[in-house]
């Protein structure tokens, strides 16, 4: 069986083959079925020809009944094989698509935010949904194409057996048919690739618009956004028309060439009939074999499906080329959550975002990270929990580089809470206990109480069993569920990236009591925008332009005018945000 590690090392051009290998058992049965159908198709003209000769010969020529029954049996067999082929093709396509989606979804999650940054959320969805569906048809299409090739080749051999001259006549025009098929495959591949790329751009624009629908509604820019999303639509339509034109041109050329070959075969067969080298039944069989041998229409359809599958596979292969986050095999020693950043630098698009950061968070302490917008606060928090890796330097937890830890060890030791947490899981209880292997109800409820979420959760239609999609939560309530998830994890290092921004003053005070309470064996890194949060931390690091401008207790930094200016403009804003958050919590609560 093909493994995820195997597929990550598979070149994009060979992804269809990997999909075929994954479905080799069904592909083998499908190939045998289609080949049997091709064989039955080849036997039917011979049986028909023999039956006709016996009927024309009269009573003295032999009994035609067995051959008539043979023809009926072959027709019935073809109907049965066609039904089996239809079912097998559908199930093989479904299984291949499901395997690709599972594999690629796991790979995208393993790559992390870098995947969305490179491709865009909408394009990722388009690849994992639409392109995976097309690529998943590769196994069944390949098996059907082999059988589609078997019928014309077998028909040429049958013509040779009837009379070598008939096969020679057909083969004289066969190179032209081959050139037509090659030209079709080349032109169709280009059109399909451009068509799928345009689809991806439309999906990206739609995903961006859905993420900012409130801004669009507030600004009254729905018309402009619609135009922006659909900007690639003319290109999509153009490439779609080209695909049909290419396929139609190939079919038309085949229709023009195939009848000429068939007429040539029939003309020669008629001459041979007159010269008594062929019987009437032989002519009938030759005419049927000529039709099978020129079955370019079937080949065009199968080639078209294979071209779409290969083009989709190339787009999926681009995802696989993005390397996943590598993890080591190490584990953490006993410790209290001491975090160290040694000479950490990060560059984005040729610009230095964080420059040679040296920082220590002693175990059991709390560090607040402050700075103006764009100073690198959230990126530093991401580095501390290894949601991103530095270009230079090293991040260590209790003396062990984060790169050397296993995935489970790292994610069990570091908890996160974000400004806009994603409420994953089927129910509210699931989203609180998401990071736990076997979350108990007592632990989930205790974490919710610490995050001041228990009261509003119990008022939901089904309490903790309420589906997240049916839970009407305000921004502050969603943040409290995210905090509850971090508290439930009881991690060695807790990282809060502006996770208190939507809370009202009273709720923030209660959560801060738990957050800043001395906790031996656990340290905290908090991206802060409010002076009250920075004041309660054991130490504050002030980022300015991607560098540490100052680090120390809040009381000492408060003597610096630039540090005070960070909060001067924000105090009035914070008061307004708190009042708005409190009002929103009341208004949006069921």
∠ CA 569-379-483, rounded to 5°? 80
Measured CA to CA, the distance from residue 257 to residue 273 in angstroms comes to 24
Share of the chain above pLDDT 70, in %: 89
326 within some domain = no
Domain end position, chosen among 321, 351, 373: 321
Count CB-CB contacts under 10 A for residue 539. 19
DSSP H stretches of helix in 23-112 = 24-57, 65-111
Tell whether 302 and 361 lie within a shared domain: no
Same domain for 349 and 286, yes or no, is no
Residue 333 within a domain: no
Domain boundary residue among 272, 293, 321?
Answer: 321
Say yes or no: 184 and 287 in one domain: yes
Q: Please state, in angstroms and rounded to a whole number, the distance separating the CA atoms of residues 221 and 223.
A: 5
Same domain, 353 and 417: yes
Host domain of residue 460: 339-588
The arithmetic mean of pLDDT across residues 21-37, rounded, is 83
Burial string for 196-233 (b: 16+ CB within 10 Å, else e) reads bbbbbbbbbbbbbbeeeeeebeeeeeeeebeeebeebe
Residue 330 domain flag: no
- Residues 443, 299 share a domain: no
Q: How do beta strands 547-552 and 539-544 pair?
A: antiparallel
Domain with residue 542: its CATH number is: 3.40.50.300
Cβ contacts of residue 219 below 8 Å, gap of 6+?
A: none
CA atoms within 13 A on the CB side of 38: 24
- CA 194, 198, 203, 204 torsion-angle sign: positive
Shared-domain flag, residues 314 and 459 = no
pLDDT in tens, 426-475: 888 988 888 887 888 899 999 999 888 898 889 888 888 988 878 778 88
CA distance 570 to 576: 10
Residues 6+ apart with CB under 8 A from 366: 515, 516, 523, 524, 525, 526, 536, 537, 538, 539
Q: Are residues 415 and 303 part of one domain?
A: no
pLDDT of 105-139, one tens digit each?
Answer: 888 888 877 787 788 888 888 888 888 888 888 88
Contact in structure between 313 and 14 (CB atoms under 8 Å)? no
Domain contains 327 = no
* Whether residue 395 sits in one domain with residue 277: no
Over the stretch 49-94, which tens digit does the pLDDT of each residue have? 888 888 887 666 567 788 889 999 999 999 999 899 888 888 888 8
For residue 213, tell me if it sits in a domain: yes
Same domain flag for 262 and 386: no
Domain boundary among 286, 321, 356: 321
Give the bridge partners for 496, in sequence order.
417, 526
- What pairing do the DSSP bridges indicate for beta strands 539-544 and 366-371? parallel
Q: Does 307 have pLDDT greater than 60?
A: yes
Claim to verify: residue 421 and residue 313 sit in the same structural domain? no
399 and 358 co-located in one domain = yes
Q: Please count the structural domains in the chain.
A: 2
């Amino acid at each position: 069986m093909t493994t995820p590690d195997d597929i990550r090392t598979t070149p994009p051009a060979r992804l269809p083959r990997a999909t075929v290998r994954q479905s080799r058992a069904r592909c083998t049965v499908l190939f045998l079925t289609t080949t049997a159908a091709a064989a039955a198709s080849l036997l039917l003209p011979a049986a028909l020809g023999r039956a006709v000769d016996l009927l024309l010969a009269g009573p003295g020529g032999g009994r035609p009944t067995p051959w008539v029954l043979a023809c009926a049996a072959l027709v019935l067999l073809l109907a049965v094989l066609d039904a089996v082929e239809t079912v097998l093709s559908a199930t093989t396509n479904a299984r291949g698509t499901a395997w690709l989606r599972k594999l690629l979804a796991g790979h995208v999650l393993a790559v992390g935010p870098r995947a969305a940054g490179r491709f865009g959320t909408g394009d990722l969805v388009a690849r994992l949904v639409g392109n995976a569906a097309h690529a998943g048809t590769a196994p069944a299409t390949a098996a059907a194409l082999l059988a589609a090739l078997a019928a014309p080749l077998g028909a040429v051999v049958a013509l040779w057996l009837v009379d070598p001259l008939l096969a020679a006549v057909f083969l004289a025009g066969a190179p032209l048919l081959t050139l037509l098929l090659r030209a079709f495959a080349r032109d169709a591949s280009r059109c399909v690739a451009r068509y799928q790329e345009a689809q991806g751009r439309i999906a990206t624009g739609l995903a961006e618009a859905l993420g900012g629908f409130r801004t669009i509604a507030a600004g009254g820019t729905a018309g402009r956004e619609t135009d922006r999303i659909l900007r690639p639509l003319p290109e999509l339509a153009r490439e779609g028309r080209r695909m049909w034109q290419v396929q139609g041109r190939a079919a038309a050329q085949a229709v023009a060439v195939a009848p000429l070959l068939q007429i040539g075969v029939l003309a020669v067969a008629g001459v041979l009939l007159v010269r008594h080298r062929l019987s009437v039944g032989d002519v009938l069989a030759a005419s049927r074999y000529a039709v099978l041998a020129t079955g370019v229409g079937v080949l065009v359809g199968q080639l078209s499906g294979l071209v779409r599958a290969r083009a989709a596979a190339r787009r999926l292969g681009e995802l696989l080329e993005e390397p996943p986050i590598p993890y080591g095999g190490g584990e953490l020693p006993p410790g209290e959550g001491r975090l160290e950043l040694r000479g950490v630098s990060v560059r984005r698009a040729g610009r230095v975002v964080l420059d040679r950061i040296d920082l220590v968070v002693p175990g059991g302490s709390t560090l607040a990270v402050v700075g103006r917008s764009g100073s690198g606060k959230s990126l530093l928090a991401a580095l501390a929990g290894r949601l991103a890796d530095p270009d230079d330097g090293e991040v260590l937890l209790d003396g062990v580089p984060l790169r050397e830890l296993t995935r489970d060890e790292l994610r069990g030791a570091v908890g996160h809470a974000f400004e806009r947490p994603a409420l994953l899981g089927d129910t509210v209880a699931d989203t609180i206990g998401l990071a736990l292997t076997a979350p108990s109800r007592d632990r989930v409820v205790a974490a919710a109480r610490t995050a001041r979420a228990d009261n509003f959760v119990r008022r939901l239609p089904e309490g903790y069993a309420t589906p997240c999609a049916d839970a009407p939560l305000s921004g502050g309530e969603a943040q409290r569920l995210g905090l509850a998830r971090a508290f439930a994890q009881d991690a060695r290092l807790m990282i809060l990236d502006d996770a208190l921004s939507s809370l009202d003053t009273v709720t923030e005070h209660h959560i801060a009591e738990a957050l800043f309470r001395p906790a031996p064996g656990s340290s905290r890194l908090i991206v802060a925008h409010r002076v009250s949060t920075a004041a309660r931390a054991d130490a504050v690091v002030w980022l300015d332009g991607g560098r540490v401008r100052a680090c120390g207790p809040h009381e000492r930094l408060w003597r610096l005018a630039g540090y005070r200016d960070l909060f001067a403009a924000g105090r009035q804003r914070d008061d307004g945000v708190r009042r708005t958050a409190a009002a929103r919590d009341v208004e949006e609560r069921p």
